[in-house]
Amino acid sequence: MLLEAPFTEEKMRALKVGDLVEISGVVYTGRDAVHKYLHEGGKPPVDLRDAIIYHCGPVVVKEGGRWVVKAAGPTTSIREEPFQGPLMEQYGLRGVIGKGGMGPKTLAACQKVGACYLHAVGGAAQVLAECVTAVEGVHLMEEFGSPEAIWEFRVAKFPAVVTMDAHGKSLHANVASASAEALSRLLKP
């Protein structure tokens, strides 16, 4: 199904774990350095209300004076677990795109503010870079370097799976508990 900007609370609350979505609109990349900076009270250089954050450190090079995205897949999200929930609540984030899933604090924040975790396929940097139709800006580049900067990507039909929804459901929690059970059977003395 299509998920188009503006990313309203209503649209996000309508999504359920397992839904395949195609995202269109502007998303902001942000990973370890950006999350630490915002968490420590740094001023966001972009408006994060109703925004989607993309956990991504892209390969972007300048060709003929223009930014060209060479590769742009997701990075592992769980590192932002200490920050994500509070930032969702503080700024009214509507979604996070990443990979690997996040923990209970983020899940609780998704439920509270009406947001989702959108799982992109890790490693699929070319399929996902094809969905970036324009680079609309870059921030904190000097401070954090290219992979850790905030890139404003306009995306069209960016594919992702809803793996944590605004109803307290997490595919990651389900898979982890099923695999823990399977493991304990395999390790029975």
Partner 1 sequence: MDAKTLQARLLELIRRTSCELPPDVIRAVDKGWRREKPGTNAKYAFGVIRDNIKLAAGKSQPLCQDTGTIICDVARPDWVSERAFRAAFEKAVDEATRVGYLRQNSVDSITGRNSGNNLGPGSPVIHFHETTAKALTARLMLKGGGCENVGAQYSLPDTGLGAGRDLEGVRRCVLDAVNKAQGKGCGPGVLGVCIGGDRATGYVASKEALLRPLDDVHADPVLAKLERRLLDEANTLGIGPMGFGGATTLLGVKITARNRVPASYFVSVSYMCWAYRRDGFQLSAAGKIAKWLYD
Burial class (CB in 10 A: 0-12, 13-18, 19+), 121: middle
Cβ-based nearer residue to partner 1, 41 or 180: 180
In the numeric block, which tokens belong to residue 167? 């109803």
Per the annotation, the verdict on 39 as an active-site residue is: no
Of positions 4, 6, 18, 167, contacts partner 1 by CB under 8 A: 18
CA 93 – CA 77 distance, rounded (Å) = 15
CA 158 – CA 153 distance, rounded (Å) = 11
Interface with partner 1: number of residues (CB under 8 A): 50
CA 54 – CA 38 distance, rounded (Å) = 15
The reply to whether 99 sits near partner 1 by the rule CB under 8 A is: yes
| Residues within window 22-41 making contact with partner 1, judged by CB under 8 A | 33
Of positions 50, 80, 148, 165, contacts partner 1 by CB under 8 A: 148
CB 28, min distance to partner 1, A: 16
The dihedrals phi and psi of 112, each to the nearest 5 degrees, come to -70, -50
> What proportions of the chain, in percent to the nearest 5, are helix, strand and coil?
35, 30, 35
The reply to whether 114 sits near partner 1 by the rule CB under 8 A is: no
* Tally of helices (H runs) and strands (E runs) in the chain: 7, 9
> Do 160 and 27 form a contact (C-beta atoms < 8 A)?
no
| Residues within window 62-91 making contact with partner 1, judged by CB under 8 A | 68, 70-73, 75-76, 78
CB 4, min distance to partner 1, A: 21
The reply to whether 5 sits near partner 1 by the rule CB under 8 A is: no
Residue with tokens 């799976």: 161
Active site residues: 35
Question: Where does this chain bind partner 1 (CB under 8 A)?
Answer: 18, 20, 33, 56-59, 61, 68, 70-73, 75-76, 78, 99-101, 119, 121-127, 129-130, 144-148, 159, 161, 163, 171-172, 174-176, 178-180, 182-183, 186-187, 189
